[in-house]
Amino acid sequence: MSDKSAAAERPVKSPCVSVCALNAQDICEGCFRSIAEIGGWGSMNNDERRVVLKNCGERARRMGRIL
């Protein structure tokens, strides 16, 4: 992706579902982000955000929340 098209790309949307409760591992029970990922979301670029979303999906599977 060129720098110009990256600048025009829409921001990747936050996975927040307004169920903000951290478990014992500091993972949100609503969006499955870590506390560090939640805090850093606003300063992440889209590629970094996509990695976080991938990690969220993997965590949700490990936690038995999705198949």
- Each of the 67 residues of the chain gets a pLDDT tens digit; together they read 555 566 689 999 999 999 999 999 999 999 999 999 999 999 999 999 999 999 999 999 999 998 7
For 26, the token pair is 């500091």
CA proximity to 52, closest of 66, 64, 34, 25: 34
Q: What is the pLDDT of residue 67?
A: 74
For 64, the token pair is 């038995």
Q: What is the pLDDT of residue 61?
A: 96
Q: What is the pLDDT of residue 29?
A: 96
Q: What is the pLDDT of residue 8?
A: 81
